[in-house]
Amino acid sequence: MSNRSLLGLIAVAALVAFAPAYAADGGGRGGSQAHAQHFDARYQHNQYYPSRGNVTGQLPGGGYAINRGERHFWYHGGVWYEPYGPRWMVVGPPLGVFVPLLPPFYTTVWFGGIPYYYANDTYYMWHENEHSYEVVEPPGEAGAAATEAPPQPDVFMYPRSGQSEEQQATDRYECHRWAARQTGFDPTRADGGVPVNEARNRRGDYFRAIGACLEGRGYSVK
């Protein structure tokens, strides 16, 4: 075999070995990113998310580490990441895992009078015993009733002491849980988890409570 033929075989072998990593990275530098995001229009959710299978070298800040058996995930904004060698791949979440908060954008879907919270091809249900939201099987589409968009956030917080994104997320979550316990109103649940005739007043109480909590932790709240 000539030297030129041998070099050609080596080049082909190297290209084959490199192709999976190249494809997973979106084609490398300057490669096509046409499939980097997808638009989730189910139930008029109408949000963009990174497509599953994308690989990134850096996780977004402000998320949560979630463990499920021997598997480890990073949960941020309704997107799930799992270790992929030294990097992270966008994946679907495992059923039965619990998260402390719903994604910032979600759609409430009613099936048989029960609210499910939908975002990014994933369904969540409130689990009272765990005081968390559980990733569940998709309910039967035939039973879908009305859908509603989540309420827009009424609290805008600005760090006065240079708190990191991770610290801001922790403080926001802890103040949310404290305000929900104090007022009995949880804006991530249908009607706040209270009778309809009480929802308006309890909602106001909740936002005053979370504002006071955040101001006590060094934030300006509007």
What's residue 166's pLDDT?
67
Is the pLDDT at 172 greater than 90? The verdict is no
End-to-end CA separation in angstroms for the chain = 75
Q: What is the pLDDT of residues 128-150, one digit of tens each?
A: 788 889 999 988 765 555 455 44
| 120 — pLDDT class (breaks 50, 70, 90) | very high
Core vs surface per residue 109-123: b (16+ CB within 10 A) or e: bbbeeebbbbbbebb
Q: What is the pLDDT of residues 17-48, one digit of tens each?
A: 333 333 334 333 333 344 589 999 988 888 99
- Domain regions of the chain by residue span: 1-33, 35-150, 157-221
